[in-house]
Structure 1
Amino acid sequence: MCFHRFYETWLHQLHSLHHQLTSAPKPRTQEDELHLSHLVDKSMTHYYDYYRVKSSASKHNILSILTPTWTTPLERSLQWVAGWRPTTVFHLIYTESSVRFEAQIMDILRGRRTGDLGDLSPSQLGGVSELQCETVREENEITEELSEWQVNVEDLISVCPDMEGKIQRLVKVVEKADDLRLKTIQRVVEILTPQQAVEFLIAAAELQFGVRGWGLDQDRRSRSM
């Protein structure tokens, strides 16, 4: 329950950060650029705090982290190793970039730079693509490690009641997954400009809010039936 309370507070603070990000003006001066960089750093610190506390909670009770009662069934159905898939980040970037590019294609063709996610440079696109390949590989490795853990646990249960070593190994698998999630966000933010990073962080928060809101709505409908 302790992590549950932390999560609710953390999510409330994410709403506040989302408001700050959406309220920030597009950079016209160096001061504006510094303000956006500050908001990006503030958002990343918020994510760091989440995974720091989650790591501590995992060591205390990994099973509650794997089956969190404070999330909706919809949220849990979309989870990969106790959280979101790191490769979701790339689907989000490509979707946001395509939508923005199509909306301002005439300006871009006329050589007017928008500076947003619809205006990614070739080097940025190359960096995102390279990071995506690396993330897919690491994601697959963690999936295989979790599958091996599940097979070994089935064998262990039939011959030995001591699960402590296996539980500790599961904690490490979840920590690897969380490290990859955080690393992926951080490296994407490093590739983007402050303005683009703000837009990416807004989209990431809205995706999280949207999935949770949809899940809560489904729960309410199920209880009323």
Structure 2
Amino acid sequence: MENPSSDTEKLQQDCYNEWMSLQAKRMTELKEALSTGEKDDDKLRDLIRTAIKDFEDYAGKRSEHSCRFSSNYFAPKWNTCLENALLWMGGCRPSSFIRLVYAMCGSQTEHRLSNFFNNTNEDIHGLSMALGETRGGIGAGESMSDLTAEQIIKINELHLKTIKAENKLTKLSASLQEDTADMPIAVAAFYKEVIGQADMAVERALDKHEEDMAGLLVQAEKLRLTTLTKIVDILTAGQAAEFLLAGKKLHLAMHEWGRSREHRRIEASGGDTIGEVARE
């Protein structure tokens, strides 16, 4: 007899595996486009549109697959423990996209100034050249460290709106968690002689909880997509490509770091079931 839960989980995990493979492919394409001597804005914009469409399609599939077993997305078996510990509504916080912009802007500015001050033969003109140097195929005005005042204002405004929207969803999630201690679940758990057996009323309550969680996931996916799209709209083609590349590298790196940490834990405990944490 087929298990609907297992079938759905397989669909969800297959969707995730396809997404991770696509992330690696897009990362390579973005790196190649940014490493050329002369940037091609049209090519960069095509890659950016493709990356946004990829995310939109992935979010749509996740929303579709969450209709019946949404709880799978709030602690996915295909994730590492590290990744699950960082989850917000089944994914990353939309505001973390904006924090990534801030981090890249600061690190690139520090890198350029460090390069300049490490060369004592440079003069003031050299400083100007250092701040406008071409890095990785991205010329002056195209690096994340070259954000204009107008861009920074727009990003800050988006940050505030995004945090407000996140807080609203977080409160809804807290209400759902509190509902699990409400009727009829709590009463059934108290009076049941055999723990684990659920009557029809409890099953209906749990199904309703899964349905509500699926609704939260859909809203969270929309917020993630909206935030990502708005950030890209604020940035230039070169900046947006850099930002998307950094996001993909971070996502893939977190997965690999999580796997590495779990392997080390098992080895340290003398375990011989390394395969258990090899989530592909």
What's the TM-score bracket when you normalise by the shorter of the two chains? over 0.9
Q: 2:174 aligns with which of 147, 158, 176?
A: 147
CA distance in 1, matches of 2:129, 2:91: 37
1:62-117 deviation line (CA, Å, top 9, x unaligned): 12111210000000001111111111112110110011122234337877734210
Q: Name the count of aligned residue pairs.
A: 223
* TM-aligned CA distance change 1:167 to 1:111, over 3 Å: closer
Offset of residue 60 of structure 1: 2.7
CA distance in 2, matches of 1:201, 1:46: 12
2:152 corresponding residue in structure 1:
125
- Gapped runs of 5+ residues in structure 2? 1-9, 114-126, 134-139, 188-200, 269-280
**One-letter amino acid of the counterpart of residue 12, structure 1:** S
Is this contact kept in 2: 1:78–1:84, CA < 8 A? Answer: yes
**One-letter amino acid of the counterpart of residue 128, structure 2:** D
**One-letter amino acid of the counterpart of residue 146, structure 2:** D
Is this contact kept in 2: 1:108–1:114, CA < 8 A? Answer: no
2:198 corresponding residue in structure 1:
none
- Considering only CA atoms, is the larger Rg found in Structure 1 or Structure 2? 2
CA distance in 1, matches of 2:45, 2:25: 17
Q: 1:6 aligns with which of 3, 12, 15?
A: 15
**One-letter amino acid of the counterpart of residue 127, structure 1:** K
CA distance in 2, matches of 1:206, 1:107: 30
Residue 141 of structure 1: SS of its match in structure 2?
helix
2:104 corresponding residue in structure 1:
96
CA distance in 2, matches of 1:203, 1:4: 24
CA distance in 2, matches of 1:109, 1:70: 44
CA distance in 2, matches of 1:109, 1:62: 50
- Gapped runs of 5+ residues in structure 1? none
Is this contact kept in 2: 1:27–1:33, CA < 8 A? Answer: no
1:107 corresponding residue in structure 2:
128
* TM-aligned CA distance change 1:3 to 1:111, over 3 Å: closer
Farther off after superposition, 209-218 or 96-105: 96-105
1:195 corresponding residue in structure 2:
238
What TM-score do you get using the length of structure 1 for normalisation? Answer: 0.92
Is this contact kept in 1: 2:75–2:90, CA < 8 A? Answer: yes
Residue 59 of structure 1: SS of its match in structure 2?
coil
Q: Tell me how large the CA RMSD over aligned residues is.
A: 1.8
**One-letter amino acid of the counterpart of residue 81, structure 1:** M
2:186 corresponding residue in structure 1:
158
Farther off after superposition, 156-165 or 5-14: 156-165
Farther off after superposition, 101-110 or 88-97: 101-110
**One-letter amino acid of the counterpart of residue 4, structure 1:** Q
CA distance in 2, matches of 1:70, 1:111: 43
Is this contact kept in 1: 2:141–2:147, CA < 8 A? Answer: no
CA distance in 1, matches of 2:213, 2:48: 32
Farther off after superposition, 99-108 or 82-91: 99-108
Task: Percent identity, please.
Answer: 26
Structure 1 stretches of 4+ with a deviation exceeding 4 A read 26-29, 108-112
1:24 corresponding residue in structure 2:
33
1:115-161 deviation line (CA, Å, top 9, x unaligned): 21010011100000000000000000000010011112211312552
Q: Does 1:47 align with 2:55?
A: yes
CA distance in 2, matches of 1:207, 1:129: 22
* TM-aligned CA distance change 1:196 to 1:152, over 3 Å: same
Is this contact kept in 1: 2:69–2:210, CA < 8 A? Answer: no
1:204 corresponding residue in structure 2:
247
Larger relative helix fraction: 1
Is this contact kept in 1: 2:68–2:210, CA < 8 A? Answer: no
Is this contact kept in 2: 1:27–1:195, CA < 8 A? Answer: no
Is this contact kept in 1: 2:112–2:131, CA < 8 A? Answer: no
What TM-score do you get using the length of structure 2 for normalisation? Answer: 0.75
